[in-house]
Amino acid sequence: MKFKSLLTGVLLAFGFGTVAFAADVKVGFVYVGPVGDYGWTYEHNEGRLAIEEHFGDRVETIYQESVAYGADAERAITTMAMQGADLIFTTSFGYMDPTLSVAEKFPNVKFEHATGFKRSENVSTYSGRFYEGRAIQGHIAGKMTKTNKIGYIGSYPIPEVVRGINSAYLHAKKVNPDVEFNIIWIYTWFDPAKEAAKKRFDESKKAYEAALEKAKKTPRSFMAETKDPSYAQNPDSMFIPQIINAPDK
């Protein structure tokens, strides 16, 4: 997913693009995973780099990756505030309470928290309409299943993820009233041993991009032709990922 437009837009909304803030703005990012996860943290970091490119030396950015929830998160956020950050992005749901705790101690620092539902005078929240993609996934799964059994891998049972499950299930149910969902919680955002995320990305990215141009291909023949890893493991199953791609402008 791309956060480039969102993050640069936030800075402009705060007035950070004006002369009054020239060379005086520091923006911090607290990441839940490594910047090389090819997913949530990777795209947040792409947004950070886009800020540097857009604003040049008017904005300085700092970040810390793979920050655990709880006390570690509060320490990382506090450290950034003490280092003079004017705006801090806390980029995971589990940072919600630590963000509010630090924000209370640093009223002059602004905070943007990802996917949370608690706010204060200097804490705002942001998210994406992830449920829209989940709805399409559910529709496809409901149409394609021959067993009426659909598996769904969830990271954590938090509002953002549950909303996506509900969306996928409701839309699968619309096209196939007999479907059953089997939810598997893996309780991690990034775990190579469980997800093999980078390997899957490396193996599939080029193949997907080439095959996407062949619009007349069926999903199953598309996966077989591109040697999708999930198809190779079980050609009778269908793996449906979601890529959220916000426009750059």
pLDDT higher than threshold 50 for residue 197:
no
> What value does the mean pLDDT take over residues 201-205?
50
> What value does the mean pLDDT take over residues 140-157?
92
Give pTM, 2 decimals.
Answer: 0.74
What percent of the chain has a predicted confidence (pLDDT) above 70? 68
Residue ranges of domains in the chain, CATH in brackets: 4-126 (3.40.50.2300), 129-195 (3.40.50.2300), 197-249 (no CATH)
Q: For residue 181, what are its two tokens?
A: 């969902």
State the average pLDDT over residues 203-210: 53
Q: b/e for 184-194, b at 16 or more Cβ within 10 A?
A: eeeeebbeeee
pLDDT higher for 141 or 17? 141
What integer pLDDT is reported at residue 192 of this predicted model? 72
pLDDT computed for residue 17 by the predictor: 52
- Looking at residue 41, its pLDDT comes to 95
Give the pLDDT confidence score for residue 165 in this predicted structure.
Answer: 97
Which residue type is seen at 65?
Answer: E
- As a whole number, mean pLDDT of residues 15-30 equals 70
Burial 100-120 (b: 16+ CB within 10 A, else e): bebbeebeebbbbbbbbeeee
What pLDDT is recorded for position 80?
A: 98
Q: Does position 35 have pLDDT exceeding 60, yes or no? A: yes
- Are 140 and 174 in contact by the 8 Å Cβ rule? The answer is no
| Angstrom distance (rounded) from CA 161 to CA 8 | 26
Residues 219-249: tens digit of each pLDDT: 555 455 545 555 455 556 566 667 666 555 4
Report pLDDT for 134: 95
- Which pair of structure tokens corresponds to residue 151? 């598996």
* Residue 51 burial (CB count, 10 A): 25
* pLDDT of 191: 78
More confident residue, 114 or 191: 114
Mean pLDDT, the chain, whole residue set: 82
Residue-wise pLDDT for 105-135, tens only, equals 999 999 999 999 999 999 999 998 999 999 9
